[in-house]
Amino acid sequence: MLAHHAILHITNNQTNAIRSFRESCGSQVEVVPIIAESLTIDEVRRVITLAYQTPGTYAERALVIAARSINHAAQHALLKVLEEPPLTTKFYIILPTTAGLLPTVLSRVIIDQGVEVVDQPHFLFTAFLEATIPDRLALIADI
């Protein structure tokens, strides 16, 4: 399982990251993926509920949060559970970039050492262009 309660993995390939993480966990860990284009406060509320539930037949639960971005309201809500995590729950967060993450969130996670650096302006610009108009407005509102 994870050495720290919250790991941030930076990659564009969420599918491979989730698969690799599942394989590394073993049979004693319940892996629960939460996949979203942009993680919202409602989804974070679901994450918090899952985090505080007993894992059942497993020794631990790993909540794998994979998203392109996490809006600021959702990040603020996520902070509480990252600051005081339940003993049986770990967090594995997969994002394409650290851009837009609050410094307080970054201070609560360990960035995976094998990260792929993606904090390049052209990546963010391409993601913005590919987004729908409502998604673009949401991204601008977060900034």
Whole-number pLDDT of residue 115: 42
What is the band of 118 on the pLDDT scale with cuts at 50, 70, 90?
very low
Residue indicated by tokens 């590919």: 130
Mean pLDDT on 80-88: 92
For residue 73, pLDDT beyond 80: yes
d(CA 111, CA 91): 12
Residue indicated by tokens 């564009």: 12
For residue 116, pLDDT beyond 50: no
d(CA 71, CA 129): 18
DSSP 96: S
DSSP 34: E
Helix axes 41-51, 72-83, angle to 10 degrees: 10
Whole-number pLDDT of residue 2: 57
d(CA 121, CA 123): 5
For residue 143, pLDDT beyond 80: no
What is the band of 117 on the pLDDT scale with cuts at 50, 70, 90?
very low
- pTM value is 0.76
